[in-house]
Structure 1
Amino acid sequence: MKSKYVTVVIPVYNERDNIIVLKDAIHQVFSQLNYQYYILFVDDGSSDGTSNILYTISCLDECVGFISLSRNFGHQAALKAGLDMASGDCVISMDGDMQHPPSLLPSLLEQWENGYDVVNTIRQDNSSNHSFKKTSSRLFYKVINSISDFEIKAGSADFRLMSRKVVDIICSLNENDPFFRGLVNWVGFSQTYVVYTAQERFSGSSKYSIKKMFQLAVRGITSFSVRPLYIAIYPGMLISILSLLYIPYALYSYLTGTAQPGWTSLIVTVAFFSGLQLMLLGIIGLYLGKVISESKSRPVYIIKESNLIKKTAVR
């Protein structure tokens, strides 16, 4: 008898050509496993007809359901929507472009059965990935680990398994701007890692532009560390010390009559200090903006429509 129940949460954005292929691949994997399962797609405001395909599939396949958001809220918000609605003894999250291989699902479930509450994955890039993306990814993890109070392993992604109790805790956190790679590490519990090789996209192109990758990096850094605020203090302290050292020289030049008015030095000094102040104010502004955003208590996402089959045997 299939007693344990698994929900697979898949946020998608303009992935109409990948949905059926991914659904069939997951069906094929679970047909060899002794689990009940449910595939929950979250359409993050797609404009290519993705929601229509999901509606049709969910009507024909009782193992598939979908949530459609009112607009594009972003991958992390769509993932939260899926986690909030997911039932089951454990929840697996993965992307909808086939780069997270469904063939890895048995390994994740095996580690869960061994007693781990969180089974993360570590991506090994294939040779076709652009060197810029590899370099920027390594730099992101190096920076965030250097200024955070915990470590996020390089190559981590939102392809993981979480037990029911971990999902419940994650969903109870009222984060207006969630960053799940950090949150999952922050909550603790017994965690392990499974290594996989990233596959090629089945269809389409990546939705993560340089701008979105930068936004994700800023979200991760400002969500889990206040060290940038401390870092912002150091340049001010250093410049204050240097300015104190400059006072004796200025007095000596004045008393000896060697001081000459200089337009260039004045402009350089003003430009330098102006740029520094703007940088420091920008860092402080990021944190202040997050405080204001949290204080508004707006929902992370808004559901436009859904087609879900509730399972009563679990949760």
Structure 2
Amino acid sequence: MPATLRPAPRLAIVVPCYNEEEVFAYCQQELGALLYTMVQDHMVQPDSFLLFVDDGSRDTTWEQIKAACETETCVQGLKLSRNEGHQSALLAGLAAAAPQAEAIVSIDADLQDDIQTIRRMVERYRAGYDVVYGVRECRQTDTWFKRTSAEGFYRLMAAMGVKQVFNHADFRLLSQRALTELLRYTERNAYIRGLVPLVGFPSTEVAYARGLRTAGESKYPLSKMLALAVEGITSMTITPLRLIATLGLCICLFSVTATLYVLVRKFSGNTVEGWPSIILSIFFMGGVQMLSLGIIGEYVGKIYLEAKQRPRFHVESFLKLSTKQK
């Protein structure tokens, strides 16, 4: 760690938005007020800014972002041409902010993450850390099902060999050099929570209490959480393929043992013919084969998508200080 503090950085706060018309005004007001006080306290540079990324919203989110860009000099807006998903929208915002800022914070528009934690993140950055993870202290505000499924998600990812910070989502600070390295990961199926730890550089955590959503609906119901888990596992580890190989080996060993048992019974003349065991074995092996093919197919599908090297997103419009007339 450096012996002296880093100078106050130009800070960018990147906020992915998808159908956030109910909460956008509140989000902009709160983050704008936070940025103003941080500038007054000389924690960040006066030209620090907010960058809202519209991920193909179907409501008035982009219109509100445009209006904010016209009235607030600290607000920038980035519009994707279509809905690409939270991770792609976040990457688009980070890529746009990287050349402009020394420190970049990502946070969701619902502001369930405590925005005052950003002050502590900047303090850690100035102390020499390049990656600062926002980690939830507890999940008391969640329902039992949400809490159980979320914690199960993190444990499943850990069991599959994915290295990520427990109870950390996408609320973090990255230095410019850490973000530059992160953007070098060009895979189409990017799982940012798993990629950031691979970047290295000095990192630390700050704990915070998560609040209730102000308005709108959660963008991560159970179906999307399961999809995110599949995305993370298949893009970060080959453990499922190794489990298939292990399962196949175990079944082979079991089959050899069973064959020896059947031969002993046959030669001893103590066998009973019947179909239940045959039918059960057929269903069991059929299920194992279908499951194995499904997992292998998921990986083959990932290879197919990566081989085409299609862009992860398309930017329709980018509004910032020098391009307000776009």
Match of 2:117 in 1: 104
Match of 2:17 in 1: 12
Match of 1:130 in 2: 143
Match of 1:147 in 2: 160
* In 2, Cα distance between equivalents of 1:88 and 1:262: 73
Give the TM-score taking structure 2 as reference length.
0.90
Give the TM-score taking structure 1 as reference length.
0.93
Mark the runs of 5 or more structure 1 residues left unpaired by the alignment. Answer: none
CA contact (8 A) 1:176 1:298 kept: yes
Using a 3 Å threshold, how does the CA distance of structure 1 residues 274 and 64 change in structure 2: closer, same or farther? same
CA contact (8 A) 1:222 1:287 kept: yes
Match of 1:64 in 2: 75
Query: Secondary structure at 2:116's aligned position in 1?
Result: helix
* In 1, Cα distance between equivalents of 2:126 and 2:30: 22
- The one-letter code matched in structure 2 to 1:103 is Q
Query: Secondary structure at 1:148's aligned position in 2?
Result: coil
Match of 1:290 in 2: 302
CA deviation vs aligned residue, 1:278-314 (integer Å, no higher than 9, x gap): 1111121111111111101111111222312259xxx
Alignment partner of 1:121 out of 118, 125, 134: 134
- The one-letter code matched in structure 2 to 1:20 is A
* In 1, Cα distance between equivalents of 2:119 and 2:254: 60
* In 2, Cα distance between equivalents of 1:63 and 1:233: 54
Per-residue deviation at 1:190? Answer: 0.3
Query: Secondary structure at 2:129's aligned position in 1?
Result: coil
* In 2, Cα distance between equivalents of 1:240 and 1:305: 57
Match of 1:78 in 2: 89
Match of 1:221 in 2: 233
- The one-letter code matched in structure 1 to 2:218 is S
- The one-letter code matched in structure 1 to 2:120 is S
RMSD: 1.7
Match of 1:55 in 2: 66
Residue 32 of structure 1 pairs with residue 28 of structure 2:
no
Per-residue deviation at 1:126? Answer: 4.7
Alignment partner of 1:173 out of 165, 185, 194: 185
CA contact (8 A) 1:126 1:199 kept: no
For structure 1, which segment, 197-206 or 19-28, has the greater mean C-alpha deviation from structure 2 after superposition? 19-28
Residue 94 of structure 1 pairs with residue 110 of structure 2:
no
* In 2, Cα distance between equivalents of 1:26 and 1:240: 59
Query: Secondary structure at 1:32's aligned position in 2?
Result: helix
Residue 249 of structure 1 pairs with residue 261 of structure 2:
yes
CA deviation vs aligned residue, 1:67-120 (integer Å, no higher than 9, x gap): 111221110000000011002111110000011222221111000000000011
Query: Secondary structure at 1:202's aligned position in 2?
Result: coil
* In 1, Cα distance between equivalents of 2:139 and 2:223: 23
CA contact (8 A) 2:32 2:50 kept: no
* Percent of residue pairs bearing the same amino acid type: 34
Per-residue deviation at 1:208? Answer: 0.9
Mark the runs of 5 or more structure 2 residues left unpaired by the alignment. Answer: 1-6
User: Runs of at least 4 residues of structure 1 off by over 4 A?
Assistant: none
* In 1, Cα distance between equivalents of 2:318 and 2:22: 20
How many residues were matched structurally?
Answer: 309
